[in-house]
Amino acid sequence: MYSVSVRDHFMIAHSFQGAVFGPAQRLHGATYVVDVELRRPELDADGVVVDIGRLTDVLRTVLGEFNFRNLDEEAGFRGRNTTTEFMARVIFDRIATRIAAGELGPHASGLQGMRVRLEESHVAWAAYEAPL
């Protein structure tokens, strides 16, 4: 299986509901480093997994929907704990939608899997991965 990854980051504010979160129940900020890995069993006609430039642009666009925002104020997230795990799935789903819409080009139809990993610090991260 071949893979290619790109990286970017975004900054948000949010708070959590539930005693399990301790002081994180208060409004706080986070800067996430995001890695997106796409996989396919064979390279495309150009000899790549996917165009890295296009993938970088798609990731930047998706992260721009959250960057410098308080997620507590976003209608789609009201009442949800926007944990690192939760946000990995949100980003996965939004990138998958863009792939299906053709934003990574005609050869992206051969992609079979994606993994989205969010690092919240140098010692803690979470990921979501699934077939495409």
Domains identified in the chain and CATH numbers: 2-131 (3.30.479.10)
- What is the per-residue pLDDT across 20-45, written as a single tens digit (0 to 9) for each? 999 999 999 999 999 999 999 999 99
Average of per-residue pLDDT values in the chain: 96
- What is the per-residue pLDDT across 89-104, written as a single tens digit (0 to 9) for each? 999 999 999 999 999 9
- Other residues' Cβ atoms within 10 Å of the Cβ of residue 61: 13
Residue 32: C-alpha distances to residues 14, 17, 46, 104 (Å): 13, 20, 32, 23
Question: Is residue 127 classed as helix, strand or coil in its secondary structure?
Answer: strand
Q: What is the pTM of this model?
A: 0.96
- What is the per-residue pLDDT across 99-129, written as a single tens digit (0 to 9) for each? 999 999 988 989 999 999 999 999 999 999 9
Q: How far apart are the C-alpha atoms of 77 and 72, rounded to whole Å? A: 7
- What is the per-residue pLDDT across 57-94, written as a single tens digit (0 to 9) for each? 999 999 999 999 999 999 999 989 999 999 999 999 99
